[in-house]
Amino acid sequence: MKDSLKLKLESLYLSGEREVPMTRQTKSLEKKLVQNVVVKNNPPSQSVNQSTEALLAAIREKMGDCQRCRLAKTRTNIVFGVGNPEAELMFVGEAPGSEEDKQGEPFVGRAGKLLDKIIQAMGLERETVYIANVVKCRPPENRNPAIDEIQTCGPFLLQQVEIIQPKVIVALGTFAAQTLMQTESKIGMLRGRFHAWPNALAQATFETAFPIHSVKLMPTYHPAFLLRNPNMKAKVWEDMQKVMQELGLKKKEASVT
């Protein structure tokens, strides 16, 4: 009976099922069960980090040469995500830009260089956090992602979040914040304070296994916005100092330049 239940949970997770109510404790158990599926043929010495990385790789493999929306016709590369699969801090942007599309990695252009500086100013490195976007393919001419594109790609972001289980998510810009929070409020109204995630609407929309209000979400301005409005960097640094405090990182007075 126990083995049968275990196999059922593993099958449900890998198929994207999110209907079973879970506490954080049972969700942690589910994660371990799924890790067993992904790494069962690997040596016993394999670390949890490696198995979590394998889970992310399985999601990427599931995406394949994604043709689920119109963006497939114009993209060069799918931009999945990069960083530490066990990260406590996850940054979520809206969509890849030109350089990201060329390299297949999020935040590697001018905005990405600024994000790197923000991360380093927090006392962290790019490799110690996880970085992803709501939409995995570049919209033509860097236009805003369309609603149906966000709806199509959103479940993959959700699975990344569920596997990584960050303590804090930083939503970079309006589209990332609105998608994760399922709100129409603009970033200027949302930033500056933590929001408990998922809220009831986000939990219902995404059908996520995350217990309600179990993650701290900090919306802030997108680095691309800061390149056009450098006077707003101080606002973002205020937001990041709150994130640092939440993660137990040493507070720094110097802002991002």
DSSP for 93-143?
ES---HHHHHHTSSS-SHHHHHHHHHHHHTT--GGGSEEEESSSSPPGGGP
Rounded to whole angstroms, the Cα distance separating 63 from 93 reads 19
Question: Is 66 inside a domain boundary?
Answer: no
Residue 139 lies in a domain: yes
- Please give the Cα distance from 121 to 232 (Å, whole number): 16
User: How does pLDDT run along the chain (257 residues), one tens digit per residue?
Assistant: 445 544 444 555 555 554 444 444 444 444 444 444 333 333 333 344 558 999 999 999 999 999 999 999 999 999 999 999 999 999 999 999 999 999 999 999 999 999 999 999 999 999 999 999 999 999 999 999 999 999 999 999 999 999 999 999 999 999 999 999 999 999 999 999 999 999 999 988 888 877 899 999 999 999 999 999 999 999 999 999 999 999 999 877 666 77
Decide if 34 is inside a domain: no
**Residue 253 is assigned to a structural domain of this protein:** no
Tokens of 28: 């942690």
**CA–CA dist 255, 193 (Å, integer):** 18
Q: What is the CATH number of the domain that holds 155?
A: 3.40.470.10
Structural domain contains residue 11: no
Inside any domain, residue 3:
no
Q: Which domain holds residue 227?
A: 77-247
Q: What's the structural domain count of the chain?
A: 1
Longest CA pairwise span in the chain (Å):
61
Residue 82 located in a structural domain: yes
Residues paired with 169 in a beta bridge:
90, 217
Cα-flanking dihedrals φ and ψ of residue 166, to 5°?
-70, 155
CA 204 from centroid of its chain's CA atoms = 18
CA atoms 65, 70, 76, 80: torsion sign: negative
Asked whether residue 10 is assigned to any structural domain, the reply reads no
Instruction: Report the distance separating Cα 34 and Cα 157, nearest Å.
Output: 18
